[in-house]
Amino acid sequence: MTVTIVDYGMGNLGSIRNMLKRIGVDAVVTGDLESINAAEKLLLPGVGAFDAAMGRINAGGLREVLDRKALEEGTPILGICLGMQLLTRSSEEGELKGLGWIEARTRRFPPSRHLKVPHMGWNLVREARPSPLTRDLPEEPRFYFVHSYFVDVDRAEDSILKTRYGVEFDSAVQRDNIYGAQFHPEKSHKFGMRILQNFAEL
């Protein structure tokens, strides 16, 4: 079983593949629509700006393939960092619409002298509800975050992990086969490895 990492030109692809390799999971990085269409599991990375990402996804047919895989075929898909924000309807960072697979909006952290933006560093998570993505995490789970925008779900049941940074926001989400993690598992050593392991074992 292989995890297909979607290469749309933005994201920490090498690091994700490295960590998957380290935990013994086969991973392939590709931007080829046929390969993505045939994927058993999809990983949507993302580093950078919302509109830049959506622009690239909307171009060249990738959007249609992803919509079909996620919404019709029920392929497990995990969005990471910006990738999780793309799952929402829209973001205050950009003008374009998101994928809209999770009913949520992406909002900006309010800037303040006391709470610097971006939210950058290791922070704790608490379970909002159990999920296969987050089972068996080591004690006192923490992850590496770096983001200026956060996801705010409409429906409480779509939230699986929450984190506090001034506001309490959704640090991981799930709706059926669609998962999102705001933090970077590939940069969160043993904690991230567990998340990716869980995703691979779904």
Partner 1 sequence: MLRTRVIPALLLRGASLVKTVRYGRFRYIGDPVNTVRIFNELEVDELLFLDISATPAARPPNVDLLADIANECFMPLGYGGGIRDFEQARAVFDIGFEKVAVNTAAFEKPELISRLAERYGSQAIIGVVDVKKDLLGRRHARSHSGRRNSRRDPVEWARELEALGAGEILLTAIDHEGTWDGFDVALTRRVADAVDIPVIAHGGAGTVEHLGEVVREGGASAVAVGSMVVFQKKGMGVLVNFPERDALERVLGTTQAGGLR
Give, as one character, the DSSP assignment of residue 109. Answer: P
Contacts of residue 162, Cβ cutoff 8 Å, sequence gap at least 6: 125, 126, 128, 168, 169, 170, 171
Nearer to partner 1, 7 or 103 (CB): 7
Site for partner 1 in 156-185 (CB under 8 A): 164-166, 184
Among 7, 67, 142, 197, the residue binding partner 1 under the rule CB under 8 A is 142
Cis peptide before 132 (omega within 30 of 0): no
Whether 64 is catalytic: no
Instruction: Specify the stretch interacting with partner 1 by CB under 8 A; choose among 26-34, 72-80, 96-104, 120-128.
Output: 120-128
Helix (H, G, I), strand (E, B) or coil at 113: coil
Give, as one character, the DSSP assignment of residue 46. Answer: -
Nearer to partner 1, 20 or 65 (CB): 20
Cis peptide before 138 (omega within 30 of 0): no
Of the residues 40, 73, 186, 201, only one is catalytic, namely 186
Per CB under 8 A, does 146 bind partner 1?
Answer: yes
Whether 140 is catalytic: no
| Torsion region of 3: left, alpha or beta (phi above 0 gives left; psi -120 to 50 gives alpha) | beta
- Would you give the binding string for partner 1 spanning residues 17-56, x where CB under 8 A is met? -xx--x------------------------xxx-------
Measured from the CB of residue 200, what is the shortest distance to partner 1 in angstroms? Answer: 16
Give, as one character, the DSSP assignment of residue 137. Answer: P
How many residues does this entry show for the chain?
A: 202
Backbone angles phi, psi at 83, to 5 degrees: -55, -35
- Are 117 and 148 contacting, i.e. CB atoms less than 8 angstroms apart? yes
The CA dihedral of 123, 148, 63, 195, to the nearest 10 degrees, is -10
Per CB under 8 A, does 12 bind partner 1?
Answer: yes
Whether 157 is catalytic: no
Measured from the CB of residue 178, what is the shortest distance to partner 1 in angstroms? Answer: 24
- Would you give the binding string for partner 1 spanning residues 55-84, x where CB under 8 A is met? ------------------------------
Catalogue the active-site residues: 81, 184, 186
Interface with partner 1 (CB under 8 A): 12, 14-15, 18-19, 22, 47-49, 111-124, 126, 142, 144, 146-148, 164-166, 184, 186-190, 192-193
